[in-house]
Amino acid sequence: MAASAYTTSSDSASSAKLLFRQLFEKESSTYTYLLADVAHPDRPALLIDPVDKMVDRDISLVEELGLKLIYAMNTHVHADHVTGTGLIKTKLPGVKSIISKASNSKADRLIEAGEKIHFGDLFLEVRATPGHTLGCVTYVTGDGPNQPQPRMAFTGDALLIRGCGRTDFQGGSSHQLYKSVHSQIFTLPKNTLIYPAHDYKGFSVSTVGEEMLYNPRLTKDEETFQNIMENLKLSYPKMIDIAVPANMVCGLQDLSERPVESVSN
């Protein structure tokens, strides 16, 4: 059964066909994204930013949709939740974890700007978008024949809907974030869909054009932006001391000491 929530505009039988699902974790308001090439006989799939406690839901869905998960990847080292990439690997051997080389973390594949991540006949491009953390990347669907139209950008915490990630931890830099968004995201076509790692107001998607017009921070000049970011007066992230070290090793730093069951809860 081809259950496609987002199809490309071509209706020729040989065209690539994207299955796309947006998934939500309420406690940390985190979005996880499932993408698969359901026109390919293997139905290869990837998960972006899975959350440890939602791994059973995500794997069930992958199985029900008849997909073959090949990658479990992160946009960056999260500070507010533990990634599900390591747990997924224990439950579905063969899945490879992906994170940026610049994050200084461990994963099966360490990616850099300009690389392509293929799943079937579809692919994601890697864009370096540091500033929230030093290793943040944005994954963008390919620009080419049979790739999804409009394009989709998975921006992590670099660009949120009408917002952006904080810049006061993990090698963050408001100067770098401003540059990243303006040079790597706002240069995409205006109808590119923005799918962030979080939303706290119930928005699910935006576009490059919308954020260029209405983002209350990134529409400002750089000096004003830096001023905003330096005066947010946010509290210390309550999960950071647990999440960051865990997320630098796919969420499973204690696996040798604890049974898998206790890690997953």
Residue 256 makes contact with its own copies by CB under 8 A? no
Provide the b/e sequence for 77-114 (b: ≥16 CB within 10 Å): bbbbbbbbbbbbbebbeebebbbbbbbebebeebbebe
Give the three-class secondary structure for 127. strand
Residue 214 makes contact with its own copies by CB under 8 A? yes
Count of residues engaged in binding its own copies, rule: CB under 8 A: 39
The only residue of 21, 43, 81, 89 in contact with its own copies, by rule CB under 8 A = 21
CA distances (Å), 118 to each of 47, 143, 191, in order?
13, 13, 23
How near is the Cβ of 85 to its own copies at its closest, in Å?
17
The only residue of 94, 201, 234, 265 in contact with its own copies, by rule CB under 8 A = 201
The only residue of 13, 26, 114, 231 in contact with its own copies, by rule CB under 8 A = 26
How near is the Cβ of 6 to its own copies at its closest, in Å?
8
CA distances (Å), 33 to each of 17, 46, 123, 167, in order?
16, 8, 14, 24
- Contacts (Cβ under 8 Å, ≥6 apart) of 242: 82
Residue 233 makes contact with its own copies by CB under 8 A? no
Segment interacting with its own copies (CB under 8 A) among 123-131, 164-172, 177-185, 197-205: 197-205
Residue type, 227: N
Residue 3 makes contact with its own copies by CB under 8 A? yes
CA dihedral 236, 240, 241, 244 (to 10 degrees): -150
How near is the Cβ of 159 to its own copies at its closest, in Å?
15
How near is the Cβ of 232 to its own copies at its closest, in Å?
21
The only residue of 112, 143, 183, 204 in contact with its own copies, by rule CB under 8 A = 204
The only residue of 23, 73, 177, 197 in contact with its own copies, by rule CB under 8 A = 23
Residue type, 264: S
How near is the Cβ of 28 to its own copies at its closest, in Å?
11
Q: Report the site for its own copies in 71-130 (rule: CB under 8 A).
A: none
> For residue 226, how far is the Cα from the chain centroid?
24
Q: Residue 210: what are its φ and ψ, rounded to 5°?
A: -65, -45
Residue 237 makes contact with its own copies by CB under 8 A? no
- 184 touches 127 (CB < 8 A): yes
How near is the Cβ of 54 to its own copies at its closest, in Å?
7
Distance CA 70, CA 55 (A): 15
- 224 touches 246 (CB < 8 A): no
Q: Where do contacts with its own copies occur on this chain (CB under 8 A)? A: 1-7, 9-11, 21-26, 29, 32, 54, 57, 61, 64-65, 150, 190-191, 193, 199, 201-207, 209-210, 213-214
